[in-house]
Structure 1
């Protein structure tokens, strides 16, 4: 019997969820809301957004996640005063995730070209960095465990595919897993010598529970529709198909109003539906 093709989901703002709601709800596609991660939203604004989200999600029974905050900070922050702000930001979105019935929150990897080179020349810094992340995230992880939400660590400037996978494992919690952004991986592959995207899939293995699908040409974080850049999608989906469980496949493109264009392209290749 032929294996059923994976079902594509999407990362959307509340405005774009309103636009694509019928498409999402018809097949109960995986959904990631991206309106709650920005630092300029006041608590009053967030309450209004939560109320609107609940209205839009009426009748939705699919798997829901939110993108967590990431602007202007890293999760390996060493300044204890700034750490308190980071925790507050993350806990705020984590609570909203649970309130909306979500069970996944995306956070960003701390690794960069500079930091990875530093780990090579001074291995002790690898231990220090992990412990900094543990210090920052411990209250967030504990609350995620209580709420039944999984934190998935997304690659950004990562060159070595297994570093954030090992980082997630070292948090020693089932509430910490891994995300993959295909465009970020492709950018680091083309610009900085990282392995290609399918190798990132293999490196993550069973820990991979979430994927941002976007395409690029190797210059900048384009967030183009799949098919508009240079990613070898057949290899990516071949690698995904070898995983013990298919992660959530979330189209994350700048052209949210046209998000179905990427879905139609992957469908035309016989890779997804």
Structure 2
């Protein structure tokens, strides 16, 4: 590939880089070659956005031998001076070489910060932003927490987010944690095992989530690919496809977010309704669903009849929206939305009350009679039956937390945060936190949209907002007087702030409400409007904000 192809493909920025073993500072031919490349880039109207400093044992600024570390700093400093002459204002640096054992990690981190401090000073004098790159495996900077620790060396340091290197946490989580310190990026895909530098879409990364996170933090730099093999026209096409997929997902998401889904146990359906309709009895239905034999559910129809949960989620396996559902008769399923076809489904038993689709495509299920939370390996295929299990008495609700990469679950007496470790093929569920509920009979668990630090939690007596950072329950949130009541079966809020709740009619309006059973209602309460939306003849167990986002 030649630089004229880069220009013709509509690419505007490039990074000057080389293999570490090929660059010899004592060879003036190498510097002349770099100068010629920079001149050609400028002549074509392109821009050298960044220089990628060499890496390897001789360039390792985390070396615990002071003399070796200072020699590495000197080499990097010399290249930074050349970059300044070439009018390059961003330099990407690998904070270490590898392998690094756990026994030496603390010392290597300390040494690296010493080296980074000196290089940050040199870079600042040259008007260059020094970007510390996140790295894979045992290298330093393999998590957001460790990158932030390295940045403590100097406030002028920034970050190069290489999503292909992020094997221990989701790239979107890294991006949100590091935030505005991300100054540049390297974009390619991995296989979930190791870095691969695949073209985006060929591996396991959820690219819509990555782009959304970059937009959230206000990233202003270029979308720099670091893929193999390099083909300028293929890169340009890949970027256009990624951007269009993101726009389509965002457009679709905004269309859905104004709706409410209800689990109607009388009609045995999931019904999506327009909350702005004046009368739900008159054409308020946006969409309805129940399992059908010709949609792949022919062997599962007996596991449906009392639907207990329905959520809209982005499915990383299908690359599209899916609805996830549960039913007291035993069904847990992933359904193509809006097509209605089965993507995964199983009679899991145990009276499942809540479901959550994890970022890797596996489905978490909470069963109140089974007293468990399971993660089913739905990412492996439509009929996968294997699962990992965590015991939780009276398990009623599950909710994924992308910021902390935890699965929250509520049971009879406890709210627990679960770490999903291992792999998609062999997940391991570990308890990360357990908090006793203020009152017993935990029931619903939903995000407080607009505040990722909070969760809605309903119990047999009240509705609370749980504050994750403080590990405490708030009873005095806005409009709590109307929202917090006994036996609230479902609670959630739209991004606009509208709060949606359901309470059994036999408890609050036995004379006029739903008589199908003693845990359903024909009315959805809307706050702060204090409006009651009625679906005549229905038996609504839960009402869900039809929003694909986790929070």
TM-score by length of 1: 0.76
1:262 to 224, 234, 238: 238
Alpha-carbon distance, 1:139 to partner: 3.6
- The equivalent of 1:215 in structure 2 is 189
**Which deviations, in whole Å up to 9, do the C-alpha atoms of 1:46-104 show, x marking residues without a partner?**
22321232133225364611111112343211113322431233123212221221110
- The equivalent of 1:40 in structure 2 is 23
- The equivalent of 2:164 in structure 1 is 183
- The equivalent of 2:5 in structure 1 is 19
Q: Is the 1:108–1:153 contact (alpha carbons within 8 Å) kept by the matching residues of 2? A: yes
Alpha-carbon distance, 1:238 to partner: 1.3
- The equivalent of 2:312 in structure 1 is none
2:36 to 40, 46, 51: 51
Report how many aligned residue pairs link the two structures. 239
**CA distance in 1: counterparts of 2:70 and 2:15, whole angstroms:** 26
**Which deviations, in whole Å up to 9, do the C-alpha atoms of 1:210-253 show, x marking residues without a partner?**
11110122243211111111110111111111103434321111
> Aligned pair in 2 of structure 1 residues 70, 62: CA closer, same or farther (>3 Å)?
same
Normalized per residue, which structure has more helix?
1
Alpha-carbon distance, 1:24 to partner: 5.0
**CA distance in 2: counterparts of 1:225 and 1:79, whole angstroms:** 38
- The equivalent of 2:148 in structure 1 is 165
The gaps in structure 1 that reach 5 residues or longer are 1-14, 120-124, 189-193
* 1:155 equivalenced with 2:134 (yes/no): yes
Secondary structure at 1:32 match in 2: strand
TM-score by length of 2: 0.40
Q: Is the 1:113–1:159 contact (alpha carbons within 8 Å) kept by the matching residues of 2? A: no
Segment of structure 1 superposing worse, 99-108 or 263-272: 263-272
Larger radius of gyration: 2
> Aligned pair in 2 of structure 1 residues 86, 16: CA closer, same or farther (>3 Å)?
farther
The structure with higher relative contact order (CA 8 Å, sep 6+) is: 1
**CA distance in 1: counterparts of 2:84 and 2:44, whole angstroms:** 17
- The equivalent of 1:60 in structure 2 is 45
Secondary structure at 2:189 match in 1: coil
The gaps in structure 2 that reach 5 residues or longer are 249-551
**CA distance in 2: counterparts of 1:171 and 1:256, whole angstroms:** 35
Q: Is the 2:208–2:246 contact (alpha carbons within 8 Å) kept by the matching residues of 1? A: no
Segment of structure 1 superposing worse, 200-209 or 211-220: 211-220
